Chains A and B, each alone.
Chain A
Amino acid sequence: MNTENSATGEGKGGDVIVETVSRLMVPFIQLFALYVIIHGAGGPGGGFQGGVIFAASFILLVIAFGIVDAGDRFPEAVNTNLFSVGVYIFAGVGLLCVILSFGAAQYLNYGFIPLTTHFEENRALGMDLVEIGIGITVMAVITSIFFNLVWKRESEEEVGEKEEQE
């Protein structure tokens, strides 16, 4: 394969085959991730598995297009906000059940979110909402872990440690 390109270091990744194949695969991986997340309420799968698959699609992009480029596109702040948002969705749905039933239903008793007229349908939709929250958090955390492993950011912590050593 085209190793010269990367060996000279001019390209950021730069392999046509790898880039094209990744670009083709990513939408399918993400679609599958969404399927696993949504299907989680009624079958194998769920927010955690789906979130990991979703994160895998990002990791594939990072590997194909080079770490520096991708790192700029996924700033740490966005990741931080995303995994907070996921937790907020999860906890928020749980609290909504309590609030919307005026305290009659327990935490995470999805049936009491009035999305449809049927108790069971509400329950299924509530589960999906929670799974989406979990999926977002897991995706953001896995991506974040990956970046921290492969790419040393000049974060405030490291700056701090350098100052400490001096």
Chain B
Amino acid sequence: MLIVTEHFPVLVIVISMLSAFTILIAGRWNKKTCLPISIATISVQLFMALFILNQVITRGTIHYRLGGWAPPWGIEYVIDAFNAYVLVIVLFICLLTAIYAKRSIEREQPHRIVPFYVVFQLLITGLCGITVTGDIFNLYVFLEIASLAAYALIAVAGRRALKASYNYVIMGSIGACFYLLGAGFLYAVTGSLNMADLSHLLPPLYENKVVQAAFVFFVVGMSIKMALFPLHIWQPDAYTYAPSAVTVIIAAAMSKVSIYAFIRVFFSVFTTEFIRIYVPIATAISWIAAIAIIVGSIIAIMQSNLKRMLAYSSVAQVGYIVLGVGLYSTQWGLYGALMHILNHALTKGCLFLVAGAIIYRYGLWNIHDFVGLGKKMPYTCAAFTIAALSMIGVPPSVGFITKLCLLAASLEAVEYAFVAVILASTLLNLVYFWRVIERMYFVKGEGEEEKEIRKDEAPMSMVLPALILGSLCIIVGILWLAGTETPLLPVVDHAVNALLGTGVVAAP
């Protein structure tokens, strides 16, 4: 067994790819085999990811040389605490989404079950690939796999989703092109594509304009992919019109992976020294993030479509993460950003699961129609409320921790404007979530004053994932605040150290 475990970094991708094509063949024979194969694969992947995480914590960074070729020439998979942390989050969300997708897709796309699961599995392949690779060109390849799969999954819904998907294709392709240009520039200057190798070769070339241009291309390209504020225009439509299950995986898993790639290039290919001295971009990025937080929240308040409101809320949440990245020089900045990756995956995953469940059961998407929903769907609405509280940042939740970290970072950087922004956005969050919660629980419908409202929940396979994510928001928060011997703390600490230390960690 010991020997097999060494190959987990590559197996996590390979079995996903094999499974996608197995689903294709098995699905032609019997449609009902798609879901079990998909869930089995993701479970195995999640197990591998947890094992990798454990190994990274106990034994340090994992290096895997594909085909036995030494790093600067061959492709190398490098997994440190940050990769493993993101990998576990992403696969966990994927697993819950796969379970959730069963009923959701049967209802929304009954004729495309087989293609859905094939492309879904390919999307997961791409996401895992981006996360484990230590090679900037390989990252681009997986980025394209994941993006193409996402375009297809969004377009599945037809009609308005086609336009949303087309927008995403154009914007996403520009983003990927910028990333590729950046990688090409670096290759032209250094002759290497390996991240660790680049971080050694680049420092003498930091004054080179080509290197600086490459950095800017990377930042802008990845900003499009992760929907940072001025470049977010593809995102609300894509999230709103995609099938429910697809929205969950794109909002909760795929945006996290884009942010992972952004942070990885930021700190591991380039270094903090480069960002501090040669391209002083940190302050600018923090301000963009601050604007994103405020604008995203304000636009979210104006929405009446629940999914669209959550989409704009995501714009604001990406702002939080980037704000943390911009404040990397403080003690809590990057820590807060990484915690917020977890927070946003849990809460936004949960909220979109609930939005999908409400659409599944009652076909409601307009917030004004949610009257009395709290009694009709008690568990679903409970999950929504918990996740909303976490997003607002009410104490025992994980959202409170990230806001605390970001506040501490802003205070340490003596940027009181950011403190004001975070506090103001908390109020704005409260406003737009309260609208929904108020309708669910407190507003009485006309003419149904004391009438008994029949309880009619969404199916178990849709409610349970939402409840799991909702309760995790609280559990993680309490564990953190209690300061007990949780495995989570060292993971995030390790991840921050890996990023701010010597890059991807020098090859042994």
Q: A103-B4, A106-B66 are in contact. Are A84 and B21 (CB under 8 A)?
A: yes
Q: A77-B28, A102-B3, A156-B111 are in contact. Are A91 and B18 (CB under 8 A)?
A: yes
Query: Could you tell me if A106 and B24 are in contact, using CB atoms closer than 8 angstroms?
Result: no
Q: A91-B18, A159-B111 are in contact. Are A105 and B25 (CB under 8 A)?
A: no
Quote the shortest CB–CB distance from A93 to chain B (angstroms): 11
Q: 0/1 per residue, B68-86, Cβ < 8 Å to A?
A: 1000000000000000000
Q: 0/1 per residue, A59-86, Cβ < 8 Å to B?
A: 0000000000000000001001101100
- Bound-state Cα–Cα, A108 to B138, Å: 15
Which of chain B's residues has its CB closest to A98's CB? Answer: B7
Name the residue in A77, A80, A106 with the highest tally of chain B Cβ atoms < 10 Å from its Cβ.
Answer: A106
Query: Could you tell me if A106 and B14 are in contact, using CB atoms closer than 8 angstroms?
Result: no
Query: Could you tell me if A87 and B68 are in contact, using CB atoms closer than 8 angstroms?
Result: no
- Bound-state Cα–Cα, A91 to B7, Å: 14
Q: 0/1 per residue, B134-168, Cβ < 8 Å to A?
A: 00000000000000000000000010000000000
Query: For A84, what are the chain B residues with a Cβ–Cβ distance below 8 Å?
Result: 21-22, 24-25
Query: Could you tell me if B66 and A107 are in contact, using CB atoms closer than 8 angstroms?
Result: yes
Quote the shortest CB–CB distance from B4 to chain A (angstroms): 6
Query: For A163, what are the chain B residues with a Cβ–Cβ distance below 8 Å?
Result: 111
Quote the shortest CB–CB distance from B62 to chain A (angstroms): 12
- Bound-state Cα–Cα, A120 to B25, Å: 35
- Residue A143 at the chain B interface, CB threshold 8 Å: no
- Contact with B67, one of A77, A95, A106, A157 (Cβ below 8 angstroms): A106
Query: Could you tell me if A107 and B110 are in contact, using CB atoms closer than 8 angstroms?
Result: no
Q: 0/1 per residue, B1-13, Cβ < 8 Å to A?
A: 0011011001100
Query: For A81, what are the chain B residues with a Cβ–Cβ distance below 8 Å?
Result: 25
Query: For B66, what are the chain A residues with a Cβ–Cβ distance below 8 Å?
Result: 106-108
Query: Could you tell me if B110 and A160 are in contact, using CB atoms closer than 8 angstroms?
Result: yes
Query: Could you tell me if B18 and A80 are in contact, using CB atoms closer than 8 angstroms?
Result: no
Query: Could you tell me if A80 and B28 are in contact, using CB atoms closer than 8 angstroms?
Result: yes
Which of chain A's residues has its CB closest to B6's CB? Answer: A103
Query: For A100, what are the chain B residues with a Cβ–Cβ distance below 8 Å?
Result: none
- Bound-state Cα–Cα, A68 to B406, Å: 64
- Residue A166 at the chain B interface, CB threshold 8 Å: no
- Contact with A80, one of B25, B65, B68 (Cβ below 8 angstroms): B25
Using C-beta atoms within 8 Å of the partner chain, give the interface range for chain A: 20 to 34
- Residue A109 at the chain B interface, CB threshold 8 Å: yes
Query: Could you tell me if A109 and B68 are in contact, using CB atoms closer than 8 angstroms?
Result: yes
- Residue B17 at the chain A interface, CB threshold 8 Å: yes
- Bound-state Cα–Cα, A95 to B115, Å: 26
Query: For A77, what are the chain B residues with a Cβ–Cβ distance below 8 Å?
Result: 28
Query: For B276, what are the chain A residues with a Cβ–Cβ distance below 8 Å?
Result: none
Which of chain B's residues has its CB closest to A105's CB? Answer: B68
Which of chain B's residues has its CB closest to A92's CB? Answer: B18
Query: Could you tell me if A87 and B111 are in contact, using CB atoms closer than 8 angstroms?
Result: no
Query: For A103, what are the chain B residues with a Cβ–Cβ distance below 8 Å?
Result: 3-4, 6-7
How many A-B pairs have beta carbons closer than 8 Å: the answer is: 60
- Residue A161 at the chain B interface, CB threshold 8 Å: yes
Quote the shortest CB–CB distance from B202 to chain A (angstroms): 27
Query: Could you tell me if A110 and B67 are in contact, using CB atoms closer than 8 angstroms?
Result: yes
- Bound-state Cα–Cα, A108 to B65, Å: 10
- Residue B112 at the chain A interface, CB threshold 8 Å: yes
- Residue A104 at the chain B interface, CB threshold 8 Å: yes
Q: A88-B18, A159-B111 are in contact. Are A108 and B67 (CB under 8 A)?
A: yes
Name the residue in B3, B11, B21, B115 with the highest tally of chain A Cβ atoms < 10 Å from its Cβ.
Answer: B21
- Bound-state Cα–Cα, A7 to B348, Å: 60
Quote the shortest CB–CB distance from B481 to chain A (angstroms): 42
Q: A107-B67, A160-B110 are in contact. Are A91 and B14 (CB under 8 A)?
A: yes
- Bound-state Cα–Cα, A157 to B157, Å: 12
Query: For A104, what are the chain B residues with a Cβ–Cβ distance below 8 Å?
Result: 3
- Bound-state Cα–Cα, A65 to B112, Å: 32
Which of chain A's residues has its CB closest to B64's CB? Answer: A106
Quote the shortest CB–CB distance from A46 to chain B (angstroms): 15
Query: Could you tell me if A87 and B67 are in contact, using CB atoms closer than 8 angstroms?
Result: no
Name the residue in A87, A107, A108, A161 with the highest tally of chain B Cβ atoms < 10 Å from its Cβ.
Answer: A107
- Residue A94 at the chain B interface, CB threshold 8 Å: yes
Query: For B112, what are the chain A residues with a Cβ–Cβ distance below 8 Å?
Result: 157, 160
Quote the shortest CB–CB distance from A162 to chain B (angstroms): 10
- Residue A111 at the chain B interface, CB threshold 8 Å: yes
Query: Could you tell me if A160 and B111 are in contact, using CB atoms closer than 8 angstroms?
Result: yes
Query: Could you tell me if B111 and A157 are in contact, using CB atoms closer than 8 angstroms?
Result: yes
Quote the shortest CB–CB distance from A119 to chain B (angstroms): 11
Quote the shortest CB–CB distance from B294 to chain A (angstroms): 41
Quote the shortest CB–CB distance from B23 to chain A (angstroms): 10
- Contact with B10, one of A80, A83, A107, A159 (Cβ below 8 angstroms): A107
Which of chain A's residues has its CB closest to B1's CB? Answer: A103
Q: 0/1 per residue, A129-166, Cβ < 8 Å to B?
A: 00000000000000000000000000011011101000
Query: For A159, what are the chain B residues with a Cβ–Cβ distance below 8 Å?
Result: 111
Quote the shortest CB–CB distance from A30 to chain B (angstroms): 25
- Bound-state Cα–Cα, A108 to B277, Å: 42
Query: Could you tell me if B111 and A106 are in contact, using CB atoms closer than 8 angstroms?
Result: no
- Contact with B17, one of A87, A106, A157, A160 (Cβ below 8 angstroms): A87
Chain B contacts to A: CB under 8 angstroms: 3-4, 6-7, 10-11, 14, 17-18, 21-22, 24-25, 28, 64-68, 110-112, 115, 158
By Cβ-Cβ distance, the 8 closest A-B pairs, closest first, are A160-B111, A103-B3, A109-B68, A84-B21, A108-B67, A107-B10, A87-B21, A106-B68
Interface CB pairs A-B, < 8 A, 18: A84-B24, A88-B21, A94-B10, A98-B7, A103-B3, A103-B4, A103-B6, A105-B68, A106-B10, A106-B66, A106-B67, A107-B66, A110-B67, A111-B68, A159-B111, A160-B111, A161-B111, A163-B111
| A106-B7, A106-B68, A160-B112 known, 17 other contacts, Cβ within 8 Å | A80-B24, A80-B25, A83-B21, A84-B21, A84-B24, A87-B21, A88-B18, A94-B14, A95-B14, A102-B3, A106-B64, A106-B66, A106-B67, A109-B67, A111-B68, A161-B111, A161-B158
Chain A contacts to B: CB under 8 angstroms: 77, 80-81, 83-84, 87-88, 91, 94-95, 98, 102-111, 156-157, 159-161, 163
